[in-house]
Amino acid sequence: MAYRAEYIWIDGTEPVPLIRSKTKIVQEGGDLGVWGFDGSSTNQAPGANSDCVLNPVFITPDPIRGGDDKLVLCEVLVPDTMQPHPTNKRAAAVEIAKSFADQEPWFGMEQEYTFFEEGRPLGWPQAGYHFPAPQGPYYCGVGAVEIAGRKIVEAHTEACMAAGLMISGTNAEVMLGQWEFQIG
């Protein structure tokens, strides 16, 4: 049976690159190999020579779509040489990681974020000049008064785990409606 493979890559937008994706329908027994895209639309190639190559580097089950669908994380290559594209920062990172492989390095990252609802942080009063209590009780807080958004955080955590990501923790942050997750 056919399934969807969502090819995901980082584009050439400056100063902050964007994440891009496109869906490939893969027939049973089909290949999840390299695939192309129009680099002129992603700031990665001129219009006259716009082909770029997506090279899969990590494949995992798609926790949102489920079933046999996959997420395919890719690096961008130059089609004529199949070498890393200038916007491909992963290639240099891989070489650095290889040079220190005997050191057993540990890499981790954390991402803080704030939930919003109707233009205000989740859990904040709906009208007037009322604000939640000052910072203090929200960091690693528990209970409905101290935190907002736990159900979303739990769903996100489950999706990361289902995708095989190395999510290592979550916690409420210093502002009501603010959270953080850690990878690694």
Phi, psi of 169 (to 5 degrees): 175, 165
Tell me the fold of 3-86. Ubiquitin-like (UB roll) (3.10.20)
| Torsion-angle region of 96 (φ positive above 0: left; ψ -120 to 50: alpha; else: beta) | alpha
Domains 3-86 and 109-183 share a fold: no
**Length of the chain (residues):** 184
Is the Cβ–Cβ distance between 13 and 41 less than 8 Å? Answer: no
What does the buried/exposed string (b/e) look like for 125-149 if buried means 16 or more CB atoms within 10 Å of the residue's CB? Answer: eeeeeeebeeeebbeebeeeebbbb
pLDDT given at position 104: 76
**At CA 180, angle to CA 73 and CA 161, rounded to 5?**
45
Domain ranges of the chain: 3-86, 109-183
pTM: 0.79
pLDDT given at position 56: 98
pLDDT given at position 101: 86
Per-residue pLDDT of the chain (184 residues; tens, 9 = 90+): 999 999 999 999 999 999 999 999 999 989 899 999 999 999 999 888 899 999 999 999 999 999 999 999 999 999 999 999 999 999 999 999 899 889 977 778 999 999 999 999 999 888 766 777 778 889 999 988 889 999 999 999 999 999 988 999 999 999 999 999 999 8
CATH of 109-183, one of 3.40.630.10, 3.60.110.10, 3.30.590.10, 1.20.1250.20: 3.30.590.10
Tokens of 36: 């192309």
Query: What is the maximum alpha-carbon separation in the chain?
Result: 61
pLDDT given at position 44: 96
pLDDT given at position 131: 78
Closest residue by Cα to residue 176 from 140, 128, 123 = 123
